[in-house]
Structure 1
Amino acid sequence: MSKQPTSAPIVMISAIASGQGKTTVTAALARHFTQAGKKVRVFKTGADFIDPMMLQQACGSPVLSLDLWLLGLPACRALLAEAALQSDVVLIEGVMGLYDGTPSSADLANAFGVPVLAVIDASSMAQTVGAIVLGLRDFGPVRLAGVVANRVATAGHLSMIQSALRDIPLLGSLARQEQALPERHLGLVLPDEVADLDTILNQLAASVTIDVPAWNAIAGVEFSDEDLTMPIVPRLLEGRCIAIAKDAAFAFLYPANIQALKDMGARIIYFSPVADQSIPADADAVYLPGGYPELHAQQLGEAKNWQASLQAFLTAQKPMYAECGGMISLVDELIDQHGESWKMAGILSGTITLQKRLAALGMQSWHSSEGELRGHTFHYSTFACPLTPAAHTSRQKTQDQGEAIYCLGSLQATYFHAYFPSNYVASANLFLTATQNSTHD
């Protein structure tokens, strides 16, 4: 079937490393183009929850993952083709540095012929920006659309940068920001916690300068109608009601996970453990996602209705899946980063201890009889638990043992964050059957 050019330019926004300002620049561009009346779609490479929330606030539409390992090439192609054919601008925020990881942001860009926009923190350099950008372009190589110079001090500073870029376009620049997107130990804070977030985003959009002719010269990627084909999703959860904890303590939810549950036929309802809401009476299964339970430990420890409904739900042998923060909320005790102890729900024996250094990070897989369920882990805590894990995930790069998976009656709990579209059958089974493989001392 003949291919047709997209109606939208697509760029992969990447850098030499984390901390260069990829999210800030992506948010600034998304809000800038949105305010200009353009329909903007944004994707995030890699496993991430918080950056997509910020970027969704900037562009006004859900920000999905676009990752070759999590989704696979056909699904990535279909998502990108749909966005490109229905939008005016498509931005893909990369992960870490351009060539970091397997597959890397460069691999994703090259898989579809997407040009790369290099974000460079220019706060401590000038002409050296040119050397860095040439290296980014030629190492792979990648198709380089141009550069956005971030944290530029003055017009003279910007002129020195531009003179060093040779034949590479300076697509835009962003001055040093008095107000940046705030962060905490797992990355950015949640959008709802930033009272003036829209003000910050508007200021970023107003301060970003864009070379409009250079942007307009970015050619679209070609896709065919066949590229829009997504795999048929089995209706394995038809008629099932899944209750999902969703509030300030349980906020790490892939939009694609929710959509996957809906596509499989599930009806979704939400409730708030922090507000001491019980599990809804009509729920057939419960999903406790990750988040920041350590920031709401007192409320969760005092939430008697929530705790009683947990016990009743599990006594009824209804399936419950808890990941990372969701698992943390179920243990006996939580010791926060200040050394203070908090009582949790007491479902899983053991103590979670927050620490300042990272405990685990990276892509992992959960292998089961239904195949490989892919996802990631990212946490700053450790779990001292007397229970014997029913299984472990495996690390993507080495296939070494990864996170423990605890099964207790109808509960399955783990630090692992699952990406449901990577295996619909395995994901559905988390909410269909009560496991009988109880862990034991």
Structure 2
Amino acid sequence: MGDINKKVTLIIAGDRSGVGKTTITLALLSFLVQKGYKVQSFKVGPDYIDPMFHTKITGRPCRNLDPILTDQTYVKSCFNQHSQGVDYVLIEGVMGLFDGVPFQKAETWQNIELNREKDHLFNHYASTAHIARLLNIPVVLVIDCSRLSGSVAAIAQGYRSLDPNINIIGVILNRVGSDRHLELLENALTPLNLPILGKLYRQDSLTIPDRHLGLVPTDELPEFKHLVKKLAHIAQTSFNWDLLFPLLTSPQSPYGRVFDKNFDVVTNMLDKRAPTSHCPIKIAIARDRAFNFYYPDNLEILEKLGADLLHWSPLEDESLPFRSSGLYLGGGFPEVFAQELSANKQAIKVVQTAIRQGMPTYAECGGLMYLCQEIINFQGETWPMVGILPTTAKMGNRLTLGYRQAIATDNSLLLTSGDTLWGHEFHRSELTINSPKPLFKLHSWHSQSPSHAEGWQLYNVHASYLHLHFGGCPTIATKFFRHCLDFSESVELS
């Protein structure tokens, strides 16, 4: 496969959503890890589930590269920091190569609305193309060929020529129907002198189960190891490694001069660290099949502040970790496991008591749903939950999805009135009763989506559908840790 002593970095992009870039990325990761290489993966955008697959395969946390939830400086420094000491770096794109949010984050909301007509194609934030330009990394374009023959050349040439700052080094032909079909595709692409780096036939036997918010998480797949072996075999037999490797290997660093290798993104970001105590502040992190949507950076930022993160399971554990001073309830699929969550009455009682005693609690999406009185699942079944929030989370067919500019409507546990930050919504549930004192006024980047109030503040609870990346709002992490510290000290004094 050529010289393996030089670091390889590439982006796997698609001509549109659903072309198979996740499967191809997982296949590449599986094969490289099987060969004994250290691989760091990244995912463009706010995704949680695809990174779970990356992490499970590589044994290293997959990092999200999202300049809207964070910013461009954070993206560059995060990429550089976590690309050290590995043999390969792979980035999985999002949607189609040029699909993204068409505005400059630095603008105010009003200016975004006024200037929407003036936005240029190449200002699309959170697109794969934007990340490719920002990090100066070559792109491999995945094309779904199931309904193509000669037209594949027009697609490939169009993508290659649209933006001269994007270096498309080759294509991967996915879902090829037959040898004859492959011959037609190859003949069409030959005049372009654009290397075909992979040829994957339709894999009807290879399926990764999915549900209403994407793939089924890895912890729910008992045959995951078998899947990884199958993916590795596909990569070994379907990719032209002799052609791929020389194209990707360069004697010079692919990162460019914009990166400072000594830049610790988290330490520099937290310029006003929270006070620390002699004993680590223990924060309980809900982590099981029902709750598993966490950005690794969020957890590491809390650790940088001095938190000792202790995992616990609302599904199986009857108590919080000993001497917990805070509770972090991430997103996930509580609606899928609502019956089991409801059956663990001791855990519900413990959470109720802790919150009523003032324990700082940060809950996102699925965590918010767990704190409601009930969850009504897709089958119409009603299951009692913690009951701290006087509302019910009801599942429905409507998908709420997208980036949000969030403006704090009042002072609360983690917010000061007027604070502005960026988050992401992704859920199919709605609350039967809205908060009488919401946390945020949420604005969608899409002009036709009206703004709406959202989020709950009761006791020392911050509960919202909004997913936040602490890399973009470090003061949230700092304030949460500070409240956990105060709670710990108050318990010690009592």
TM value normalised by structure 1 = 0.91
What amino acid maps onto 1:40 in structure 2? V
Which residue of 146, 158, 165 maps to 1:123? 146
Counterparts of 1:117 and 1:335, CA distance in 2: 43
CA shift, 1:276, in A, is 4.1
Counterparts of 1:269 and 1:222, CA distance in 2: 35
Counterparts of 1:355 and 1:257, CA distance in 2: 29
What amino acid maps onto 2:212 in structure 1? H
Q: Any residues of structure 2 matched to 1:14-413 within 5 Å, and which? A: 14-102=13-101, 103=125, 104-141=127-164, 142-165=166-189, 166-177=192-203, 178-208=205-235, 209-215=238-244, 216-218=246-248, 219=250, 221-224=254-257, 226-231=260-265, 232=268, 233=270, 234-236=272-274, 238=276, 239-365=280-406, 367=408, 368-369=415-416, 371-395=419-443, 397=445, 401=451, 404-413=454-463
Amino-acid identity (%): 33
Q: Contact 2:297–2:471 (CA<8 Å) still a contact in 1?
A: yes
CA shift, 1:227, in A, is 4.8
**Closer, same or farther in 2 for the Cα pair 1:66/1:48, shift >3 Å?**
same
Counterparts of 1:249 and 1:430, CA distance in 2: 23
Which residue of 422, 432, 435 maps to 2:482? 432
Q: Contact 1:237–1:428 (CA<8 Å) still a contact in 2?
A: no
CA shift, 1:366, in A, is 5.4
Counterparts of 2:403 and 2:177, CA distance in 1: 35
Q: Deviations over 1:224-271 (max 9, x none)?
A: 462551342354263321111111111111111111111111111111
How large is the Cα RMSD of the aligned pairs? 2.3
Counterparts of 1:50 and 1:105, CA distance in 2: 18
Which stretch of structure 1 is more off in the superposition, 318-327 or 369-378? 369-378
Q: Contact 2:435–2:454 (CA<8 Å) still a contact in 1?
A: no
Q: Deviations over 1:79-111 (max 9, x none)?
A: 323444422221111111111113111011011
TM value normalised by structure 2 = 0.82
SS in 1 for 2:423: strand
Q: Any stretches of 5+ residues in structure 2 without a counterpart?
A: 102-124, 409-414, 487-494
**Closer, same or farther in 2 for the Cα pair 1:155/1:89, shift >3 Å?**
farther
Q: Any stretches of 5+ residues in structure 1 without a counterpart?
A: 1-5, 436-441
SS in 1 for 2:455: strand
Which stretch of structure 1 is more off in the superposition, 100-109 or 395-404? 395-404
Aligned length: 430
Counterparts of 2:67 and 2:381, CA distance in 1: 41
SS in 1 for 2:264: coil
Which stretch of structure 1 is more off in the superposition, 231-240 or 364-373? 364-373
